[in-house]
Amino acid sequence: MDDDVMDQQKFASSAMVLVKHLVDMEERNAGECGHYNPEIGHKLPEVQLHEARRIMTRSEFIQAFDHINIFTIDSRACVRADSVPMQNAFREVCRTPGFARELKETLERISDIESLGRTRELTIKVNMLKTSLLRLVYSKS
């Protein structure tokens, strides 16, 4: 992947991870009719900001999502869907056949690509260290 495509994939997948978490929370807390729990009322699922950052694993993106009205960060530092229609869209996306599998595959692909980059960097550093050590040994001889 090109760098800009990789950045876009990281941005989008981090949002989808949080979307899935919010929809899963809603389903766990739903009453008999699906989306409404009389004990909670009509309240969108929300998580604390620090928890949202942990879930997304890309904490730097949360402000951008708030800025473009995907999620909202309220005055209590809670993150939720920006609106009820947005939560409805989250629900619809998560119920798309194959969504969980495709999200998992995307996250694995991003991880593999990032790992590849880190491996090359480590290899170069090790080779440079070996070269430096060899020069040091030969210069003392």
pLDDT tens, residue by residue, 78-122: 999 999 999 999 999 999 999 999 999 988 888 888 777 666 555
The backbone region for 47, taken as left when phi is positive above 0, alpha when psi lies in -120 to 50, beta otherwise, is beta
What residues contact residue 68 under an 8 Å CB cut-off, 6+ apart?
Answer: none
Residue-level pLDDT at 31: 55
pLDDT tens-digit map of 49-69: 999 999 988 888 999 999 999
Find all residues with CB under 8 Å of 80, minimum gap 6, and list them.
22, 44, 45, 46, 47, 71, 72, 74, 87
Domain boundaries, given as residue ranges, for the chain? 3-140
CA distances from 26 to 17, 71, 81, 139 (A): 14, 15, 11, 67
Q: For residue range 7-52, what is the model confidence (pLDDT) as tens digits? A: 888 888 889 999 999 999 988 877 555 555 556 566 889 999 999 9
Residue 123's identity, in one-letter code, is T
